[in-house]
Homo-oligomer: A and B are copies of this chain.
Amino acid sequence: MLSFTEENYLKALHNISEAEGVDLVGTNRLAAALQVKPATANDMLKKLKEKSYVAYEKYGKIKLTDAGAQYAVAIIRKHRLWETFLYQKLEFSWDEVHEVAEQLEHIQSEKLIDKLDKFLAYPAFDPHGDPIPNQKGAIKVRFKTTLLDVAAGASCRMVAVKDNSKLFLQYVANLGLGLNAIIKVVAKQDYDASTQIEVAGKQTSVSEKFASNIFVICNTCKVGQPCPGLRCQV
A204–chain B nearest beta-carbon distance, Å: 30
A130 to B86, CA, bound (A): 26
A86 to B114, CA, bound (A): 12
Within 8 A of B (CB), among A50-96: 86, 89-92, 96
Interface pick from A102-110, A165-173, A176-184 = A102-110
A119–chain B nearest beta-carbon distance, Å: 6
Question: Interface code A100-122, partner B: CB below 8 Å = 1, 0 otherwise?
Answer: 10011001110110011001000
Q: Is the CB of A103 within 8 A of B96?
A: no
State the oligomeric state as a number of copies: 2
A103 to B110, CA, bound (A): 13
Which of B89, B99, B111 meets A96, CB within 8 Å?
B111
Range class of the A interface residue count: 10 to 19
- Chain B residues lying within 8 Å of A112, measured Cβ to Cβ, are 86, 90, 100
Q: Is the CB of A92 within 8 A of B115?
A: yes
- Chain B residues lying within 8 Å of A111, measured Cβ to Cβ, are 92, 96, 100
Which of B90, B99, B107, B109 meets A116, CB within 8 Å?
B90
- Chain B residues lying within 8 Å of A104, measured Cβ to Cβ, are 104, 107
Residue of B nearest to A91 (CB): B115
A127–chain B nearest beta-carbon distance, Å: 15
A20 to B116, CA, bound (A): 36
Q: Is the CB of A103 within 8 A of B107?
A: yes
Residue of B nearest to A86 (CB): B112
Q: Is the CB of B100 within 8 A of A107?
A: yes
Which of B89, B107, B108, B115 meets A119, CB within 8 Å?
B89
A92 to B113, CA, bound (A): 12
- Chain B residues lying within 8 Å of A99, measured Cβ to Cβ, are 109
- Chain B residues lying within 8 Å of A100, measured Cβ to Cβ, are 107, 109, 111-112
Q: A: which residues have CB within 8 A of B?
A: 86, 89-92, 96, 99-100, 103-104, 107-109, 111-112, 115-116, 119
19 inter-chain pairs at a CB distance below 8 angstroms, sorted by A residue, are A86-B112, A89-B119, A90-B112, A90-B115, A90-B116, A90-B119, A91-B115, A92-B111, A96-B111, A99-B109, A100-B107, A100-B109, A100-B111, A100-B112, A103-B107, A103-B108, A103-B109, A104-B104, A104-B107
